């Protein structure tokens, strides 16, 4: 009899647990909801069961029925951003309430290890001024983040073990450093809650995040999990498809403002325009999957580093940066952040540079100008516009320089080549030229070894730090005028 009663009790417990709504882990206490939008909430219940969702900020009840697989999804209108704690109740006969929710701005932090790198740093890879940021974080409790575990899966996952964290001296060390400094700057400027969804994995390639359908249609990468693992047996972080299935797919129902992306090192060496084309494909894929329209996509150009087995003067890293520049030109509503100045000379072999604060802040300047009405925040780096050659002297003009090419003298990082295609270090300075009744401001470049210059490069090497900046004190994008 005792055995029968035990079985009946377990059965009743099972039925009861099945009757209660189950939410994905990302929908939980302390969550940040995207403000003033139709935010999606979803989960699982018994098939056919009616699920009622009510919120503390209005009197509306949104109802839906779980489908034959037990899945359900609703949209709720969210309030204007504030620090007021909110709650949401889910009821399918039993109630489940999540609390201390706030409305604010939600951004995704995607990419590889330089996005994953936390404020506390990695082993042998510190973040500059860590103690300062720990102490100062008490001023930014309006910043919250959720870290999606970096896992591989053969099939797209709908949930991930995670929870939202409130920024504090005890928790900030675990936040993505680039993401935190982005959110911190937004928090100071907007004075509203900022949420970060960290879905990234160190060492991943752009193909790591593409779907099976896109990989089959646009690449030669295998899509069978066994074959994928065989191809990248040594470096699992290079594996295509699997990281996206396990680490990014669980967030696709969440309503977000935009995506921040820092990746590229693992694609150095890709041929032709493959990287820029696949970046465009990835952004199109993510925007389609989120179903939120042409949401902002802001990404970071890879820093100088000793690719090619430590050859600082080789150009494979420069070619990938050039591909990132091209990607920014073909991806709508995107912007690329240059960080060519954010490495120390001794960091040539350090793939994780310590200066993460300016990286996050430059992303924030971009968002503040483009998305939040801060028109006087200057966010663009200057880039090559055109070139003229007069005898042995090259004159170049830049765009987006905000009326300044600095320093005035002793600009570093330029090289010049003649018809022999051999580049030599060049001298560069600011120049005024009189012609046609006006003064033409340019950068004048001279190289004593090259009497008949035909091409100019700027920091177009694996590891080369220039010093040219614009009126916003932002660095000049590396470039070349040749296609050799």
For the stretch 384-432, pLDDT in tens is 999 999 999 999 999 999 999 999 999 999 999 999 999 999 999 999 8
> What's the pLDDT tens digit per position in 100-140?
999 999 999 999 999 999 999 999 999 999 999 999 999 99
Average pLDDT of every residue of the chain: 95
What is the predicted pLDDT for the residue at 15? 37
Residue 1: is its pLDDT beyond 60?
no
Instruction: State residue 27's pLDDT score.
Output: 98
Burial string for 111-149 (b: 16+ CB within 10 Å, else e) reads bbbbbbbbbebeeeeebbebeebbeebeebebbbbbbbe
DSSP helix, strand, coil percent of the chain (3-state; round to 5)? 30, 30, 45
Q: Which of 263, 323, 342 is nearest to 298 (CA)?
A: 263
Helix residue ranges per DSSP H, 168-246: 177-190, 212-218, 225-231, 242-243
Count Cβ atoms within 10 A of the Cβ of residue 305 and give its class: 0-12 exposed, 13-18 middle, 19 or more buried.
Answer: buried
CA gap 425, 417 in Å, rounded:
9
Residue 183: CA count within 13 A, CB half-sphere: 37
Provide the pLDDT for residue 436: 55
Query: 47-54 — which CB contacts under 8 Å span 24+ positions?
Result: 49/19, 49/92, 49/93, 50/92, 51/21, 51/90, 51/91, 51/92, 52/90, 52/91, 52/92, 53/88, 53/89, 53/90, 53/91, 54/88, 54/89, 54/91
Query: Residues of the chain with pLDDT > 90: what percent?
Result: 93
Confidence class of residue 433 from pLDDT cuts 50, 70 and 90? confident
Q: What are phi and psi of 171, to 5 degrees?
A: -110, -25
**Residue 77 contacts residue 60 (beta carbons within 8 Å):** yes
Q: Where are the beta strands (DSSP E) in 45-191?
A: 50-55, 61-65, 71-77, 82-91, 95-111, 143-147, 164-166
- Calpha distance 115→471 (Å, rounded): 27
The per-residue pLDDT for 5 is 37
Tell me which H or E stretch contains 10.
Answer: helix 2-19
Q: Residue 434: is its pLDDT beyond 70? A: no
Confidence of residue 440 (pLDDT cuts 50, 70, 90): confident
List pLDDT tens digits, range 161-214: 999 999 999 999 999 999 999 999 999 999 999 999 999 999 999 999 999 999
Q: Does residue 435 surpass a pLDDT of 70? A: no
Write out pLDDT tens, residues 58-82: 988 999 999 999 999 999 999 999 9
* Gap between the Cα atoms of 367 and 187, Å rounded: 12
Among residues 294, 262, 287, the alpha carbon closest in space to that of 371 is found at: 294
Task: Give CA–CA dist 399/383, Å, rounded.
Answer: 5
C-alpha to C-alpha distance for 101 and 140, rounded to whole angstroms:
16
* 10 has a pLDDT exceeding 50: no
Share above pLDDT 70 across residues of the chain, in percent, rounded to a whole number: 95
Using CA atoms, how far apart are residues 83 and 78, in angstroms rounded to an integer? 13
Rounded CA gap, 443 and 431, in Å?
6
Q: Which long-range contacts (CB under 8 A, 24 or more apart) does 432-440 make?
A: 433/395, 440/395
The stretch 232-239 carries a mean pLDDT of 96
Burial of 424 (0-12, 13-18, 19+ CB in 10 A): middle
Q: Tens digit of pLDDT for each residue in 352-379?
A: 999 999 999 999 999 999 999 999 999 9
Q: Which is higher by pLDDT, 2 or 81?
A: 81
Write the DSSP symbol of residue 248.
I
Instruction: Return the number of other C-beta atoms located less than 10 Å from residue 13's C-beta.
Output: 10
Query: How many alpha carbons fall within 13 Å on the CB side of residue 266?
Result: 22
pLDDT for the residue numbered 9: 40
E strand spans, 338-460: 383-390, 393-399, 414-417, 423-425, 427-435, 438-446, 455-458
Supply the pLDDT for residue 16.
39
- pTM for the full predicted model: 0.94
- Predicted local distance difference test score (pLDDT) of residue 19: 54
pLDDT beyond 70 at 325: yes
Name the strand (E) or helix (H) holding 299.
strand 297-300
Predicted local confidence at residue 356, as pLDDT: 98
User: Rounded distance, CA 407 to CA 413, Å?
Assistant: 12
Q: What is the DSSP letter of 382?
A: P
**pLDDT at 459 (0 to 100):** 98
């Amino acid at each position: 009899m005792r055995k029968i009663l035990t079985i009946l009790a377990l059965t009743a417990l099972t039925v009861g647990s099945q009757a209660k709504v189950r939410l994905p882990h990302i929908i939980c206490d302390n969550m940040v909801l995207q403000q003033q939008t139709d935010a999606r909430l979803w989960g699982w219940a018994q098939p056919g069961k009616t699920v009622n969702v009510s919120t503390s900020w209005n009197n509306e009840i949104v109802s839906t029925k779980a489908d034959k697989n037990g899945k359900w999804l609703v949209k709720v209108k969210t309030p204007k951003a504030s620090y007021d704690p909110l709650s949401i109740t889910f009821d399918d006969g039993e109630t489940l309430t999540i609390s201390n929710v706030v409305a604010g701005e939600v951004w995704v932090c995607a990419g590889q290890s330089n996005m994953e790198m936390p404020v506390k740093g990695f082993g042998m890879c510190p973040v500059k001024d860590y103690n300062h940021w720990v102490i100062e974080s008490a001023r930014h409790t309006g910043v919250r983040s959720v870290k999606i575990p970096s896992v591989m899966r053969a099939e797209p996952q709908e949930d991930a073990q995670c929870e939202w964290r409130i920024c504090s001296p005890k928790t900030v060390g675990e936040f993505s450093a680039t993401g935190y400094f982005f959110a911190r700057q937004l928090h100071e400027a907007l004075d509203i809650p900022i949420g970060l969804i960290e879905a990234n994995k160190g060492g991943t390639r752009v193909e790591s995040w593409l779907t099976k359908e896109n990989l089959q249609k646009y690449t030669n990468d295998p899509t069978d999990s066994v074959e994928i693992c065989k191809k990248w047996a040594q470096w699992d972080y290079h594996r295509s498809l699997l990281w996206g299935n396990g680490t990014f797919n669980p967030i696709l129902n969440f309503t977000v403002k935009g995506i921040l992306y820092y990746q590229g090192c693992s694609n150095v060496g890709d041929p032709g325009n493959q990287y820029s084309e696949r970046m465009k494909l990835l952004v199109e894929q993510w925007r389609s999957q989120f179903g939120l329209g042409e949401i902002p996509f802001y990404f970071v150009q890879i820093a100088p580093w000793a690719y090619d087995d430590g050859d600082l003067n080789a150009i494979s890293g420069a070619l990938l940066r050039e591909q990132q520049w091209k990607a920014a030109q073909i991806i709508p509503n995107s912007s690329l952040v240059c960080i060519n100045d954010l490495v120390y000379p001794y960091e040539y072999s350090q793939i994780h540079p310590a200066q993460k604060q300016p990286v996050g802040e430059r992303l924030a300047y971009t968002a503040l100008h483009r998305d939040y009405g801060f028109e006087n925040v200057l966010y663009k780096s200057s880039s090559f516009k055109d070139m003229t050659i007069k005898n042995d002297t090259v004159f170049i003009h830049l765009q987006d320089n905000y009326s300044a090419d600095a320093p005035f003298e002793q600009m570093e990082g330029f090289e010049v080549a003649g018809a022999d295609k051999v580049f030599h270090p060049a001298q560069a300075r600011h120049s005024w030229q009189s012609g046609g009744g006006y003064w033409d401001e340019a950068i004048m470049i001279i190289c004593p070894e090259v009497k008949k210059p035909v091409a100019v490069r700027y920091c177009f090497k694996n590891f080369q730090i220039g010093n040219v900046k614009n009126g916003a004190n932002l660095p000049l994008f590396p470039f070349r005028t040749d296609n050799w």
